[in-house]
Amino acid sequence: MSIWVKTKLSGEQVRTMSLEVLKALAPVKEKLAESKTKLEDYRNTLQSIRISDSTVFC
């Protein structure tokens, strides 16, 4: 289900809202938190690959 369907807002309503207001909506907060977690996991994966690669080439 689309995040905007969850907010029950039309595209026009969303376009008129500020970024701060949009970020305060519960479904948006949930998606932002989920995205942050995924980003941290990906960052950790990349760092572990970089660390293991650098130990091979040292």
**What are the structure tokens assigned to 18, written together?**
């500020």
Give me the domain span that covers residue 44: 3-57
Q: What is the largest CA-CA distance in the chain?
A: 56
**What are the structure tokens assigned to 52, written together?**
């293991």
pLDDT top residue among 44 and 57: 44
Residue 53's pLDDT band, with cuts at 50, 70 and 90, is low
Residue 50's pLDDT band, with cuts at 50, 70 and 90, is confident
Q: How many Å apart are CA 58 and CA 27, to the nearest integer? A: 46
Query: Which tens digit of pLDDT belongs to each residue from 7-31?
Result: 889 889 999 999 999 999 999 999 9
Quick one: how many helices (H) and strands (E) in the chain? 4, 0
pTM above the 0.75 mark?
no
Question: What total number of domains does the chain contain?
Answer: 1
Specify the amino acid at residue 35: S
